Amino acid sequence: MADHRILLIEDDDDVADAMSVLLEGQGYAVVRVVDGEAALRALREGLAPCLIVLDLFMPGMSGVEFRRVQRAEKAIAGIPVIVVSGVANMVKEVAAMGVARCFTKPVDFQALLGVVNEFCPA
């Protein structure tokens, strides 16, 4: 799985550290950025992850704004996105974003791994 890259867009270092350790322990390569602008820059420069794990509320470009731009850019629009957010009552808003799945923090890591494995199979 070492060739499977996951783009993790998360501004909370503790959450990003925990998710990175979990995913890297399963053999995934994790590219971490702290906001939507950095994520778009990486994607436009050629990063081709099998999956994006996206926080919604971050400084700079939010996850919602990132997803809007991502969906509008043909070259990166097809990359599946999983939302991981601390806001539990965002079901309607997240559904409108056209994401693959949504998890609330704290994340059930086994459930998250199941979805990651679905989009980034060995």
Domains (range + CATH), the chain: 5-117 (3.40.50.2300)
Indicate the pTM of the whole model: 0.92
pLDDT tens, N- to C-terminus, the chain (122 residues) = 445 899 999 999 999 999 999 999 999 999 999 999 999 999 999 999 999 999 988 888 888 899 999 999 999 999 999 998 877 666 667 777 889 888 888 888 899 999 999 999 86
**Element housing 122 (H / E):** none
